[in-house]
Structure 1
Amino acid sequence: MMNFSGKVAIVTGGTSGIGRAAAIAYAQQGAKVVVTGRRSIEGEETVKIIKNDGGEAFFIQTDVSQEADVKAMIDKTVEIFGRLDIAFNNAGTYGENSSLSDQPDSEYERIMNVNVKGVWLSMKHEIVQMLKQGNGTIVNTSSILGVVAMPSVPLYTASKYAVEGLTKAAALQYAKSGIRINAVGPGAIATDMFETATGGQDEAKAYMAGIHPMGRVGQPAEVANAVVWLSSDRASFVTGETLMVDGGYIAQ
């Protein structure tokens, strides 16, 4: 058990999947949790789950691609809980499965604004608060596609490579400031995004399970466990790293 008692954690994209699992996991370890995302009904549902389990949480509707929203997210967190100790920048969107030469400018903007700009803006404002406190820890959601490529999703792959670069550069920049910055690299995980990526088709799901050496896709809680560890004092000498949670995918 990791003791996050007295600590405050923000989870972007906490409305479902990995984000929701991480928000619940932080609360179970004693953290006060701020759940953010664009979908208010789903966000409030995450908060309800945490409160029903005896935890403390609230929801802030946030579009991480909009700087005013991100700044408000941090300001409101500090206003209510007084500090920010942990941030899990998980909000993301998936790419269309199409040829690079067929993808419109709007698709580039959609993916990069959430997956890259959203992580950059979130870190930018989280770090400002953490510098005031003299400490903090950040985890960004990367992917197996931040390390290797998949031909069907070039823009999504590029966005996750960018998350890797942002994570490493920021980790180095703030290493002496008491702020640790890492990433988690999920393989295929049973989430809404996985359903979208596979079109909900059993054949596509079976294929995705089969390309992982463990022969299955992961569960959101399995990623959340890694995120919680990276956020904890047990990872006190870990920064600038990506912890793969991928059933062995990258090892092959």
Structure 2
Amino acid sequence: MGKLDGKVVIITGCSSGLGKQQAIRLAEEGAKLAICSRTESRLMETKKLCEESGAEVFAMALDIMSYDDLVTFVDKTVERFGTIDVLVNNAHTVTNPGPFLEKPIEDLDTEMHSSVYAYWHLMKLCYPYLKDKPGAGSSIINFASEAAVAGLESFAPYAASKEAVRGLSRVVAREWGQFNIRVNTLCPNGLTDNCQMGFDHLEPDVREWAENAFTDNPFKRAGDPYHDVAPIVVFFASDDSRWITGQNIHADGGTLINA
């Protein structure tokens, strides 16, 4: 028996990185998955891995910034599985880092539309299927960022969009609790393939800081997306988190410790 047996879970951004590892972990816990990404070939690799774990999987290549694509994705998910129990808003397009004065407004548009706007749309589109479920209800998990909390230099659009995600999530948690929907955010610190590729675009001093940030914690090691971060997503998706909403969890090995 898995912790998510019978639950239908939507996860965005599953071709690589945290999204891919979450999908695999959720599949192993018995969830039925609807996954998406821009890159179809890599998405299908994730689909295959999840199916090998015994999951039923619907996969669709789409642009998270296209509202029409999101409508189609949700409609096809419900057509396939009949309902939605969990929404994991993981996808986000990160623009090339640079000083705030040099960042064009187009970069802010990209990051806002790939996170805040996409999360906004998907929460509303999934709402009719998430609302008023019996027992522990349903769950929305929105990905935020510790880099935004810390105000990491050269990431102004990223920080602005990710902090907006946290604010939006708190409001929706308050408004939708009456419908037995819980909404939480997660700030992960896991060294993914995407992070490693992103280091190539950083200035040397920023790159050194970013690389060190992954091991700057009491455990003195980088977090593993599958073993260290994905289990938190499983917890939020499962009935075990039934009494938690409007909260932000730092799955970071203690990088940020405060009262």
Question: CA–CA distance in 2 between the matches of 1:73 and 1:234?
Answer: 28
Q: Does residue 1:141 correspond to 2:105, yes or no? A: no
For structure 2, list consecutive stretches of 5 or more residues without a partner in the other structure: none
The Cα shift of 1:107 comes to 1.0
Contact in 2 for aligned 1:60/1:73 (Cα 8 Å): yes
Deviates more, 1:8-17 or 1:124-133: 124-133
Contact in 2 for aligned 1:10/1:34 (Cα 8 Å): yes
Contact in 2 for aligned 1:212/1:248 (Cα 8 Å): yes
Question: CA–CA distance in 2 between the matches of 1:103 and 1:190?
Answer: 25
- Size of the aligned set, in residue pairs, is 251
The Cα shift of 1:183 comes to 1.1
Q: Find the counterpart in structure 2 of residue 71 from structure 1.
A: 71
Correspondence for 2:217 among 205, 212, 216: 212
* Structure 2 SS opposite 1:239: coil
CA distance 1:68–1:59, change in 2 (3 Å): same
Q: Find the counterpart in structure 2 of residue 195 from structure 1.
A: 196
The Cα shift of 1:95 comes to 3.4
Correspondence for 2:163 among 138, 161, 164: 161
State how 1:14-93 maps to structure 2 within 5 Å: 14-93=14-93
For structure 1, list consecutive stretches of 5 or more residues without a partner in the other structure: none
Q: Does residue 1:183 correspond to 2:185, yes or no? A: yes
TM-score, scaled to structure 2: 0.90
Contact in 1 for aligned 2:191/2:222 (Cα 8 Å): yes
Q: Find the counterpart in structure 2 of residue 230 from structure 1.
A: 236
Contact in 2 for aligned 1:14/1:35 (Cα 8 Å): yes
Contact in 2 for aligned 1:146/1:185 (Cα 8 Å): no
Question: CA–CA distance in 1 between the matches of 2:47 and 2:104?
Answer: 37
TM-score, scaled to structure 1: 0.92
Deviates more, 1:29-38 or 1:206-215: 206-215
Q: Find the counterpart in structure 2 of residue 247 from structure 1.
A: 253
Question: CA–CA distance in 2 between the matches of 1:3 and 1:190?
Answer: 25
Question: CA–CA distance in 1 between the matches of 2:191 and 2:3?
Answer: 28
* Structure 2 SS opposite 1:171: helix
Root-mean-square deviation (CA, aligned residues, Å) is 2.0
* Structure 1 SS opposite 2:214: helix
Question: CA–CA distance in 1 between the matches of 2:3 and 2:255?
Answer: 31
Deviates more, 1:64-73 or 1:210-219: 210-219
The Cα shift of 1:196 comes to 3.1
Question: CA–CA distance in 1 between the matches of 2:94 and 2:193?
Answer: 10
State how 1:89-128 maps to structure 2 within 5 Å: 89-128=89-128
Q: Does residue 1:174 correspond to 2:176, yes or no? A: yes
